[in-house]
Amino acid sequence: MALSLAFANLIRLFNQTGTLLLLFPTLWSLFLASQGWPSLKLLVIFILGSFLMRSAGVIMNDFADRSFDREVQRTRHRPLACGQLAPFQALTFLAVLLGLAAILLMFLNPLTRLLSPVALLLAGIYPFCKRFIHIPQFVLGLAFGWGSVMAWAAVRNELNLSAWVLFAATVCWAMVYDTIYAIQDKDDDQRIGVKSTALFFGSFTWLGVGIAGFFMLGCLALVARINHLGIEYSLTLMGVATILGYQVLLLRSKISGERAFALFKQHIWIGVLILGGIWIGLPYTN
């Protein structure tokens, strides 16, 4: 029982915020590329794939950061950091998850399968970026956004401008929410030498988040123009802009880790708003 709970905690089974943040861009892409409801097969594959790849990603992250995690108040009780699981147990579980993800790929077209190693590469290098570059959140955005590229390829069997603009929007979005998330660990990260955009921007974190949010909204607006989305989509973007603007205003003052985490979780609703806007704004669904 204790071992099962340790594996569940390793993949954050009881906290699926990360899975949702990975899933939403793939759903945006699926609905947009399909010009309406995508096939049930693709929905199931990308929902399961998002769960498996996010679970695999946190294992890779915890494996790489297990010595750092012991020094951070928020992460010191993670299974690898506190010794509940041995590294080989985590790596075995990782292999199982990646094997299941590979099985899902067999039901997709050759172009999507060809794109899949990039997702694994980005997930694998992200944990190490925190040691060397000041904006590791950008690499996380690339990893989380690549699912939208694969989803577009799965529907259209090609990649056009819309796919790449949506990818860019997702990268900017990850820069926003993961910078806010990183505020929780600023003091510990600075002490142990881990880099983040929250540390890099410092007192101008509000500005960095605001700029990333501005470019995110710009990319999403361009998506609307390319795909002739209706006024309904524009209204949902106004809702997203309101949430982002509120968060930027709060970030102009120092906020607690608990408040930062609450703001981070609000991004689930941003994902919902954008998905709803795409669905009701598509010309073929009206």
Mean of pLDDT values over 32-60: 96
Q: Give the pLDDT band (50/70/90) at residue 74.
A: confident
Type of residue at 193 = G
Structure tokens at 82: 């506190």
Average pLDDT over residues 245-271: 96
- Lookup: tokens for 256: 């607690």
What is the per-residue pLDDT across 160-183, written as a single tens digit (0 to 9) for each? 999 999 999 999 999 999 999 999
pLDDT, averaged across the chain: 94
Kindly tell me if the per-residue pLDDT of 201 is higher than 70: yes
Q: Report whether pLDDT(216) > 80.
A: yes
**Confidence at 194, pLDDT banded by 50, 70, 90:** confident
13-26 residue pLDDT tens: 999 999 999 999 99
What is d(CA 205, CA 227) in angstroms, rounded to the nearest whole number? Answer: 33
The H-or-E segment that residue 176 falls in is: helix 161-182
Kindly list the distances between the CA atom of residue 101 and the CA atoms of 57, 63, 89, 222, in Å, as whole numbers in the listed order: 12, 19, 19, 32
Q: Confidence band (pLDDT; 50, 70, 90) for 3?
A: confident
* Mean pLDDT calculated for residue range 234-250: 96
Q: How far is 34 from 29, CA to CA, in rounded Å?
A: 8
Q: What mean pLDDT do residues 44-61 have?
A: 96
Question: Is the pLDDT reported for residue 286 higher than 50?
Answer: no
CA distance 80 to 248: 35
Q: Inter-axis angle of helices 257-265 and 231-251, to 10 degrees?
A: 180
Number of domains in the chain: 1
Closest CA to 170 of 16, 21, 32: 21
Domain hosting 25: range is 2-285
Q: How far apart are CA 213 and CA 4, in angstroms?
A: 39
Residue 235 belongs to a domain with what CATH number? 1.10.357.140
Question: Would you say 176 and 267 are in contact if contact means Cβ atoms under 8 Å apart?
Answer: yes
Rounded to two decimals, what is the model's pTM?
Answer: 0.94
pLDDT at residue 42, as a whole number: 97
| 77: pLDDT strictly greater than 90 | no
Other beta carbons within 10 angstroms of residue 5's beta carbon come to 13
Which pLDDT score, from 0 to 100, does residue 284 have? 64
Percent above pLDDT 70 for the chain: 99
Q: Under 8 Å CB-to-CB from 156, ≥6 apart: which residues? A: 33, 163
Residue 100 CA to residue 118 CA, distance in Å, equals: 17
Question: Region 85-91: what's the mean pLDDT?
Answer: 93
- Sole residue written with tokens 């790929």: 105
Q: What is the arithmetic mean of pLDDT over 246-271? A: 96
Give the end-to-end CA distance of the chain in Å, rounded to a whole number: 51
Token couple for 33: 């590329």
The per-residue pLDDT for range 117-128, each reduced to its tens digit, is: 999 999 999 989
Name the pLDDT band for 285 (thresholds 50, 70, 90). Answer: low
For the chain, counts of helices (H) and of strands (E)? 14, 0
pLDDT reading at 190 higher than 90: no
C-beta of residue 180 within 8 angstroms of C-beta of residue 251: yes
